[in-house]
A and B are shown apart, each in its own frame.
Chain A
Amino acid sequence: MTPRYALELDGVSVWFGGRRVLDGLSWTARVGELTALLGPNGAGKTTALRCVTGLLQPESGRVRVMGGSPGDANERIGLMPQSVGAWSAVRPGELLRYLAGLYPDPMPVGDLVDALGLAPLLNRPYRRLSGGEQQAVNLAGALVGRPELVLLDEPTAGMDPHARRRTWQVISGLRGRGVSVLLTTHDMDEAARLADRVWIMDAGRVTVSGTVAELTAEASLEDVFLRHTGGAA
């Protein structure tokens, strides 16, 4: 039976060095929807993603991924990490072929290369790519396994407007094919444009959530964000 939620976090708490980074965090991402997780720097977004991938074990609370435990469904998940995520000497073509080889039913690398405009980059060492080009390669790496759930940690940070638009098209296309997407971003326009549902978190817990239409009924998403996070005036 297909679960209703691609992701469920229920009362998740994580401590680092005596500091509570996630404070009873609870949110869900529905199957087939694009869910945006917003929050200021240090709010705990990346930590929450690390709980989802099984990299971190919460001290308390429950995490469910595609109806199972974190790490049990990695063949069905694609992750685009916030940081570099690749060997400095690797060439994008060989990185994508390597990642494709880890999955049981990968996408043809050529299709991804065309969709993300990566052809001119394929034989250039990763360290010689610009930040935006690295992000595009990382996005391709997240999609190459034909995932049912994609985790995108600030996917368009550092991209020029052309690359950002191309990436938005790819993300929208994923949702159109029924892929569940979790997106973290600081770009309110990106969240408002792409997301079905938005969760805003601050200091390790959710402060407000709703559909984009609900949240923006009386103010812009940026105003809602400012009002519900530590940066509010």
Chain B
Amino acid sequence: MNATRIVRHAAMELRMLLRNGEQLLLAFAIPLGLLIGGLAWGQGFGLDLAVFPASVVAVATWSTAFTSLAVATGFERRYGVLERLVATPLTRADLIAGKALAATALVAVQAALLSAVALVWGWRPAWTPAGAASAAVAIGLAIAAFAGLGLLLAGTLKAEVTLALANLVYLAGLALGGLIADQPPWLPTAALGSALRAASAGAGAPLALLVLAAWAVTLTLIARKAFRWTS
């Protein structure tokens, strides 16, 4: 693997992603709208505002590492971008690492922006070293798991099917996946939500991290096996 090429590719991925209106909606508009709406009116609906911003960071991670990645990669495959790139010195591992780096950088920006808005709004998380470390590990593992699922869709289905299915799964994860409301952490979305909410209360979440690690390994291995570079 070549670090310079990985960084170049990550920068290109980010430029393409941020130039796309739908991706901007997913990356910033929806999470920010959800955060502000929840902080303003969520208490009336029973939301625990002490941990709600952490849930929105989980939503942002889900949207970037799964939906955006799946849709973008599906169309890269359909348009022959992947076919062209694997014939350059950018290896397949470099390409995937570049995608992972771009997703991680974007999630970091989203988390920082959402946290800043929530802090200005009056959110006061109980930060502890254990909680912060648990949150960072959870986000890293979730990115790997969600990206594995996204690449699995993008690498096996037509781009239009990937687009439709990724948005459908995104909404299902948002509504039922435990990103916002607590659920037993067996799904990766629920595990991420639980881990981040626990972190914002100053606690670690070892079970959620274990579940995320299992999903990350499983989904990336399946994606690696099933992914096809051409459509």
Known contacts A55-B229, A74-B89, A94-B15; A88 and B75 CB within 8 A of each other: yes
Contact across chains for B80 and A85 when beta carbons are under 8 A apart: yes
Contact across chains for A81 and B8 when beta carbons are under 8 A apart: no
Chain B residue, CB-CB nearest to A79: B87
Residues of B near A89 (CB, < 8 A) are 16, 19-20
Could you say which interface size class chain B belongs to?
20 to 34
Contact across chains for B88 and A81 when beta carbons are under 8 A apart: no
Within the complex, the shortest CB–CB distance from B93 to chain A, in Å, comes to 12
Within the complex, the shortest CB–CB distance from A130 to chain B, in Å, comes to 16
Chain B residue, CB-CB nearest to A126: B79
Residues of B near A88 (CB, < 8 A) are 75, 79
Chain B residue, CB-CB nearest to A80: B84
Interface string of A68-83 (1 = CB under 8 A from B): 0001001101010111
Within the complex, the shortest CB–CB distance from B28 to chain A, in Å, comes to 17
Contact across chains for B84 and A79 when beta carbons are under 8 A apart: yes
The answer, yes or no, to whether B217 is at the interface (CB within 8 Å) is no
Interface string of A132-167 (1 = CB under 8 A from B): 000000100100010000010000000000000000
Chain A residue, CB-CB nearest to B85: A102
A102–B75 CA distance with the chains assembled, in angstroms? 22
Q: Which of B4, B5, B8, B83 contacts A55 (CB 8 A)?
A: B83
Subset of 7 A-B contacts with CB under 8 Å? A74-B88, A83-B79, A85-B80, A86-B79, A98-B12, A102-B8, A138-B84
Interface string of A16-56 (1 = CB under 8 A from B): 00000000000000000000000000000000001001110
Chain A residue, CB-CB nearest to B18: A89
Residues of A near B87 (CB, < 8 A) are 53-55, 74, 77, 79, 81, 151
Residues of B near A86 (CB, < 8 A) are 79, 81, 84
Contact across chains for B86 and A81 when beta carbons are under 8 A apart: no
Chain A residue, CB-CB nearest to B229: A55
Contact across chains for B8 and A101 when beta carbons are under 8 A apart: yes
Chain B residue, CB-CB nearest to A50: B230
Within the complex, the shortest CB–CB distance from A141 to chain B, in Å, comes to 7
A122–B129 CA distance with the chains assembled, in angstroms? 49
Contact across chains for A141 and B89 when beta carbons are under 8 A apart: no
